[in-house]
């Protein structure tokens, strides 16, 4: 028996995940797959659940699919629990984006104040999930994709006994862009990656074991091979800056390096087709129309227009590496524990790690390069305060968290954003 439970199973991303389990069914024979969602997500759960059942049938694999709103029934004796919940659904994300933009501050799902707010709604729920797991499946692995994935994983590491890893599609999508540049298979590419979730960079890139860093970084400066995600505006960095950087950044770093331009772009986009959350809501609506078609039996191509396209490759290969004790290298969110001396040991970082049955063994990195050290350290301090605020519900800690974020330009604005956020999220903040 291999029982996998997905919390937030009604998400439009679920077919992506199942596609990964189907592809790997030989090495990772999931026999029971439980999709769990809350009452408010029941309609989506049934719609996506129908597609999941058709996909399993078409694949002809031995897997039973269960749909439920009773989380505890699902968690009993689970082996792996994956989380992709969105407390308050996309409407809450849209508010997270719009409130800071009112004050000329970045309005984004995870970077900046939006990540703070999403963490406040999410952490209490996931810590409750961990309590249930401690009772019902204490040996299970929690594989968290819920954003902000790094912050949420840090909260779980600090406040529960459950074994957990945080994962993100970002590093894999960077490697896919390298593979595309050289017209090779994604499997030929590996890289040394370091940073925090949505704040990573690769300073060494390998193609079939050969170091191609210098060539690839030169191509980046020429404007090819640039990393892009569907959900991040594609503004180019100045050529001399890219040359000076001499590493390969995840596109989210542009929110810091091109802060003013990105905010202007977001405001322009908001006034045209809506914020990214509003546009994701429209894509989601189309996806559910497809899912409701009984003729559809596979992951639809349209899912690639979401920022998290291909995340199942990351999720399922990491689950398989644990299950099969593979000792493979993957990029995960896990405790620093000395991987870099420039961050506290108890910080969750995103890094290369050897994955086996015991979990993640991060590969020593050493000191962070000065060109990103300050940025990473200050975002980490913000994350630490964000976790503390989410757990304690202390207003002052929350204010310090927002005020310490490098993209919040003044404490007066931090206070305004916080007050608006707390008022708009009253239904989701039991801790405040």
Residues that bind ligand G6P (CB under 6 A): 147, 168-170, 229-231, 276, 280, 306-308
Say how many CA atoms lie within 13 Å of 141 toward its Cβ: 25
Q: How far is the CB of 302 from ligand G6P (least distance, A)?
A: 12
The encoded tokens of residue 74 equal 């699902």
Q: How far is the CB of 386 from ligand G6P (least distance, A)?
A: 16
Q: Which residues are catalytic?
A: 252
Is the CB of 307 or the CB of 344 nearer to ligand G6P? 307
Is the CB of 119 or the CB of 418 nearer to ligand G6P? 119
Q: How far is the CB of 276 from ligand G6P (least distance, A)?
A: 5
The residue ranges of DSSP E strands in 10-135, in sequence order, are 32-36, 64-68, 80-83
Q: Are 276 and 231 in contact (CB under 8 A)?
A: yes
* Sheet (strand 80-83) strand order: 64-68, 32-36, 3-7, 80-83, 141-144, 163-166, 328-335, 348-356, 359-362
Alpha carbon distance 382, 263 (integer Å): 20
Q: Which residue is nearest to ligand G6P (CB)?
A: 307
Q: How far is the CB of 258 from ligand G6P (least distance, A)?
A: 18
Is the CB of 25 or the CB of 93 nearer to ligand G6P? 93
Is the CB of 163 or the CB of 276 nearer to ligand G6P? 276
Q: Where are the alpha helices (DSSP H) in 183-275?
A: 213-221, 239-245, 254-257, 259-272
* Cβ count within 10 A of residue 256: 19
Beta-carbon contacts of residue 127 (< 8 Å; ≥ 6 apart):
155, 156, 159, 160, 391
Q: How far is the CB of 145 from ligand G6P (least distance, A)?
A: 7
Polymer length of the chain: 432
Alpha carbon distance 135, 260 (integer Å): 48
Is the CB of 30 or the CB of 331 nearer to ligand G6P? 331
């Amino acid at each position: 028996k291999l029982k996998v439970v997905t919390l937030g199973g009604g998400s439009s991303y679920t077919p992506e995940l199942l596609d990964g389990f189907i592809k790997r069914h030989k090495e990772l024979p999931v026999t029971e797959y439980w999709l769990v969602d809350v009452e408010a997500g029941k309609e989506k759960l049934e719609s996506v659940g129908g597609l999941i059942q058709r996909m399993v049938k078409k694949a002809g694999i031995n897997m039973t699919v269960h749909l439920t709103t009773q989380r505890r029934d699902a968690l009993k004796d689970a082996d792996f629990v994956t989380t992709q919940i969105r407390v308050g659904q996309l409407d809450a994300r849209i508010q997270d984006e719009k409130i800071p933009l009112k004050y000329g501050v970045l309005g984004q799902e995870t970077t900046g104040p939006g990540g703070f707010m999403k963490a406040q709604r999410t952490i209490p729920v996931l810590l409750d999930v961990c309590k249930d797991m401690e009772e019902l499946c204490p040996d299970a692995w929690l594989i968290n994709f819920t954003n902000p994935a790094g912050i949420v994983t840090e909260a779980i590491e600090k406040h529960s006994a459950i074994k957990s890893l945080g994962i993100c599609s970002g590093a894999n999508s960077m490697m896919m862009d390298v593979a595309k540049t050289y017209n090779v298979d994604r499997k030929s590419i590996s890289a040394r990656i370091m940073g925090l979730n949505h704040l990573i960079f690769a300073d060494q890139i390998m193609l079939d074991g050969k170091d191609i860093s210098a060539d690839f970084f030169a191509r980046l400066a020429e404007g090819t091979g640039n990393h892009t995600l569907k959900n991040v505006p594609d503004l180019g960095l100045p050529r001399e800056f890219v040359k000076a950087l001499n590493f390969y950044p995840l596109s989210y770093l542009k929110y810091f390096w091109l802060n003013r331009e990105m905010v202007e772009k977001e405001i322009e986009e908001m006034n045209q087709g809506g914020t990214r959350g509003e546009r994701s809501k429209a894509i989601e609506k189309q996806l559910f129309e497809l899912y409701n078609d009984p003729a559809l039996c596979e992951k639809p191509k349209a899912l690639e227009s979401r920022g998290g396209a291909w995340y199942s490759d990351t999720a399922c290969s990491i689950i398989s590496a644990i299950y099969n004790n593979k000792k493979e290298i993957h990029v995960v969110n896990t405790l620093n524990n000395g991987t870099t001396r420039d961050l506290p040991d108890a910080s969750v970082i995103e890094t290369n790690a050897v994955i086996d049955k015991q979990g993640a063994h991060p590969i020593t990195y050493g000191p962070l390069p000065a060109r990103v050290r300050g940025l990473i350290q200050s975002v980490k301090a913000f994350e630490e305060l964000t976790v503390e605020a989410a757990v304690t519900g202390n207003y002052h800690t929350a204010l310090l968290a927002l005020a310490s974020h490098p993209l919040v330009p003044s404490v007066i604005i931090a206070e305004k954003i916080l007050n608006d956020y707390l008022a708009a999220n009253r239904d989701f903040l039991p801790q405040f």
